[in-house]
Structure 1
Amino acid sequence: MTKSKLIEMNNVGIVVENLDNAIKFFNEIGLELEGRMMVEGEWAGQVTGLGNQSVEVAMMVTPDGYSRLELSKFISPETISDHRTAPVNSLGYLRIMFRVDNLDELLLRLEKQGVEIVGEVVNYENIYKLCYIRGTEGLLVGLAEQIGGTSVTDILENK
């Protein structure tokens, strides 16, 4: 039997309370709504282990078309825990990071929506300008603007 090979990372999923607000937030960062639908029934629960479920799903896609973010609002069963405001050193979901081309301009737009910077905007070795923000529903999101010619991938490959 031939060993299975990884083809691509399909998406990252985030459960939210308000799907419209989450779509608006991630759209402001630069993702586009690819589609929105209900996922219901026993078959879906067989995948997730939750039994008969009803979930509204919105798939957001990055401008390059390669990465997707699946936003889910559970109608039933109801959500049972909330990790959205956990600090960055918590076990489990850490954060999602996006590379942007003009961090300062984006932060001005996001601050008008009530987004807060978690710490500070920092310059990482003249390679990236970075920050963490608390977005809609307190979701932790990282934003990075490449400001130097060397990328983090280049640094890691040279170690």
Structure 2
Amino acid sequence: MTIKSMHHVGITVTDLAATVAFFQELGLELEGEAHMEGTFVDGVIGLDGSRSRIAMMRTPDDRYRVEFSEFETPQSIDGSSYAPINALGLRHVAFVVDDLDDTLARLRPHGAEVVRNVETYQDVLKTCYVRGPEGILIELCEYFS
């Protein structure tokens, strides 16, 4: 076996504070924030003179992490964050929630918009895609017992 586990998914944003607030409302827990710069970071990410702030957030079960980065230098470039789901590349992050309707109500004041509909599949689950901060696509799933 070559992989022991998945550590995190990284997402670059332009407003770290708003992104952290949105994902805290969703239920992720802030593990820590840090300022990143120097030769070590430059060597890892391949950008000379980089400076960024990061926030590492984790799911309540402590199994998964999402790292949000806001770059001071070099300036971030548009990565087509509002691309549709069929665009090539990493497109969405999915979370299981206890109550989808309640979750949507709490996220709307933070700018969340349902992509089209909340759909129910048989008696198995209720799900939808949501655009969050920076156009991040999030799938929310409520499984029925």
Category of TM-score, reference length = shorter chain: over 0.9
| Counterpart residue number, 1:76 | 73
State the secondary structure of the residue aligned to 2:110: coil
| Higher Rg of the two aligned structures | 1
* Amino acid paired to 1:5: T
Please identify runs of 4+ aligned residues in structure 1 that moved more than 6 A. none
Return the offset for 1:55. 1.1
Equivalents in 2 of 1:7, 1:56: separation in Å?
A: 27
- Count residues in correspondence: 145
Return the offset for 1:82. 2.7
Return the offset for 1:80. 2.0
* Amino acid paired to 1:47: V
Return the offset for 1:43. 1.4
Return the offset for 1:112. 2.4
| Counterpart residue number, 1:154 | none
| Counterpart residue number, 2:48 | 51
Is the CA contact (8 Å cut-off) linking 1:118 and 1:134 kept in structure 2? Answer: yes
Identity of aligned residues (%): 41
Q: Unmatched 5+ residue regions in structure 2?
A: none
Equivalents in 2 of 1:63, 1:72: separation in Å?
A: 21
Equivalents in 2 of 1:14, 1:48: separation in Å?
A: 13
Q: Of the two structures, which has the highest relative contact order with CA contacts closer than 8 Å and spacing of 6 or more?
A: 2
| Counterpart residue number, 1:30 | 27
Equivalents in 1 of 2:110, 2:6: separation in Å?
A: 30
Q: Which moved more, 1:20-29 or 1:72-81?
A: 72-81
